[in-house]
Structure 1
Amino acid sequence: MAEASPRTDTSTDDTDDKNQRFERGQSTAISAPDSSDKSKEKTGDQKTLRRLAQNREAARKSRLRKKAYVQQLESSRLKLTQLEQELQRARQQGIFISSSGDQTHSMSGNGALAFDAEYSRWLEEQNRHISELRAAVNSHAGDTELRTIVDNVVAHFNEVYRLKGTAAKADVFHILSGMWKTPAERCFMWIGGFRSSELLKLLVNQLEPLTEQQLMGIYNLQQSSQQAEDALSQGMEALQQSLAETLANGNPGSSGSSGNVANYMGQMAMAMGKLGTLEGFLRQADNLRQQTLEQMHRILTTRQSARALLAINDYFSRLRALSSLWLARPQE
């Protein structure tokens, strides 16, 4: 029994050692997955951090682009204000002089600058008339009141044609080139203005419902306007060809003889005579636009005419806004 007791202690110690080794193995086995999970979590956190950093960088660049865009818009607005002030000073200095009575205008100095100033004034008046018309339509004003406002808007449209006619006598090329309009408007210009037939196409869908008689009337008006436009376009092409032939038929002889000088002067006189017809083409095109607007007014009811005038104004306002946005776009 004395010998058995130490053996029992040794067996017990061996058992304890085995249990401790088993527990350490379990602990190691358990800690291994924990380490793997932590590694995965760490990798996921790094990806999240990178993604957040990329998002912050993209947001920062977007804010910078937006800030630059707003600054360019503000710069464009300041330049426009400065130009308007310069035009106003030019008027005050007598470059554009208004006479009393029928309020006809005489031009001296820079005719193009004078017309641009008057056109700017006309646009301001146009916006005031359109605001009044829009308020009357939205408030469902009576037919009599609405008819008076519509007539005022139509009369104001006629005013710009009178201004153009006067300006064309001083500088017809300025009016024909459309330099007094925004770039987007110039893309659709035809002989110093818009095509009536194209405008009618845009209006039909916005004036529904229309009676069958009204639809037929607008269709016939659109067809007749297009035919007149085609005739004027052909006339302009013929004039350009004739003018080019006149300038190309010069005598390339020696440049000092009196005969060549006489030929040159005669050639220039013929060319000047042909250029004189440009004013006539512009006047005919503006007359066509006036007549189309007046006939459309007769075909439609008063409220339909009001909606048509608002649609026309909105169309050209959007073209001007498009030009401003295009000029102020970020340059990358």
Structure 2
Amino acid sequence: MADSSPRTDTSTDVDTDEKNQGNEQGQHVAVGASDSSGRSKDKTDQKVLHRLAQNREAARKSRLRKKAYVQQLESSRLKLTQLEQELHRARQQGIFISNSGDQAHSMNGNGALTFDVEYARWLEEHSRQIGDLRNAVNSHASDVDLRVTVDGVMAHYDEIFKLKGAAAKADVFYMLSGMWKTPAERCFMWLGGFRSSELLKLLVSQLEPLTEQQLVGICNLQQSSQQAEDALSQGMDALQQSLAETLASGSLGPSGSSGNVANYMGQMAMAMGKLGTLENFLRQADNLRQQTLQQMHRILTVRQSARALLAISDYFFSLRALSSLWLATEGVRT
């Protein structure tokens, strides 16, 4: 028993040392795990901060782009207003100068220039009505109030077709040439106005979602408009060919005899008679445009109609703004 006591103490000391070593190793492992967890958390926090910084930078750039875009639109609007005011002052003085600079007409008795003045007034009133419509849509006006505003814009479109019809009786060439429009608008003109089928294509994507019945109605309207446009275009081509043949056969000839003069005058009278159909072509094209707008209005809901009218107005405003920018930078390009 005396011999076993030291062995027992030694065993106890060994066990104690092993426990201490185990505790120290456990502490090292715990500290290492804690350090690893801390580093992982730091990396996660850095990623979050980096992502937030990227988001803030992207939002800042987006705000700058939006601000620049708004400033560009405002600048275009101001330039357009200035050009319209200058043109209005020129009309008030009774003089109109064409783009080529080789024509000047008196204001008195000229139906085309009278139309220019009326069209400027129409544009001004149209801009006011579109502003009211946009406010009604943005303020979520009731369907009843919104319908009143939409009907007002539709009635105002009817007014421009009446003005064009009266002006065509005075100068059909002026109306067909589109000289009352801006250069960019004239690039897309067809028989004195817009193509109904092309306008419907632009609107469909902006009116979604459409019901299946509405989509079928819009597609049918687009197809019928395209067919009518093709028929009118073919008629205009045939008229131009006939006029060219008539004018070519009505030459005075080198002798200039009385017989040749009589033949020439007869051919010119025939050409004048054929030109009378130009007004009819323009009237049919405007009727197609007017009917397309009205049928579109019947197919869509009142809020969809409001969105469609806003989209149409924005499209033509962008064309006018594009023309203003082009003319303003023309001197720099040359």
- Cα RMSD over matched residues? 2.2
User: Partner residue of 1:151?
Assistant: 151
Please list, as runs of the form range in 1=range in 2, the aligned pairs for 1:1-332 lying within 5 A after superposition.
Answer: 78=82, 80-90=84-94, 109-329=109-329, 330-331=332-333
Equivalent residue number for residue 23 of structure 2: none
* 5+ long unaligned stretches in structure 2: 1-74, 96-106
The offset of 1:200, in angstroms, is: 0.2
- Unaligned residue ranges in structure 1 (runs of 5+): 1-70, 92-106
Q: How far 1:72 sits from its partner (Å)?
A: 12
How many pairs were matched up? Answer: 247
Distance (Å, rounded) in 1 between the aligned partners of 2:90 and 2:252: 46
Question: What is the deviation of 1:287?
Answer: 0.1
Following superposition, the deviation at residue 177 of structure 1 comes to: 0.3
Distance apart, 1:261 and its partner CA: 1.6
Q: TM-score normalized by structure 2?
A: 0.70
For the structure 1 residues 79 and 230, does the alpha-carbon distance in structure 2 shift closer, same or farther, using more than 3 Å as the test? closer
Structure 1 pair 304/319, CA: closer, same or farther in 2 (3 Å)?
same
Deviation at 1:113, TM superposition (A): 1.4
The one-letter code sitting in structure 2 at the alignment partner of 1:316 is: F
CA displacement, residues 274-332 of structure 1 (integer Å, 9 cap, x when unaligned): 11100000000000000000000000000000000000000000000000011112326
Equivalent AA in structure 2 for residue 146 of structure 1: L
Q: Distance in 2 between matches of 1:78 and 1:284?
A: 34
Distance 1:303 1:72, change over 3 A: closer
Q: For residue 250 of structure 1, report the CA deviation from its aligned partner.
A: 2.2
CA 319–76 in structure 1, closer or farther in 2 if over 3 Å, else same: closer
Deviations 1:116-154 (A, max 9, x none): 111001000100110111111011111111111111100
C-alpha distance in 2 between matches for 1:220 and 1:79: 40
The CA deviation string for residues 213-241 of structure 1, in whole angstroms up to 9 with x for no partner, is 00000000000000000000000000000
User: Distance in 2 between the 1:204 and 1:238 partners?
Assistant: 33
Question: How far has the Cα of 1:79 moved from its partner?
Answer: 5.1
Q: Which structure 1 residue ranges, 4+ long, deviate > 3 Å from structure 2?
A: 71-80, 88-91, 251-256
For 2:154, the aligned partner's letter is: V
With over 3 angstroms needed to count, the CA separation of the structure-2 counterparts of 1:230 and 1:145, relative to structure 1, is same
Q: Aligned to 2:333, what secondary structure does the other structure show?
A: coil
Alpha-carbon distance in structure 2 between the residues aligned to 1:77 and 1:293: 27
CA contact (8 A) 2:197 2:225 kept: yes
The answer on whether the counterparts of 1:136 and 1:146 sit within 8 Å (CA) in structure 2 is yes
1:31 equivalent in structure 2: none
Question: 3-state DSSP class of the match of 1:328?
Answer: helix
- Quote the Cα distance in structure 2 between the aligned partners of 1:137 and 1:72: 24
Whether the aligned pair in 2 keeps the contact of 1:255 and 1:261 (CA below 8 Å) is no
| Offset from partner CA, 1:244-298 (integer Å, 9 cap, x none) | 0000112554544221121111000000001110000000000000000000000
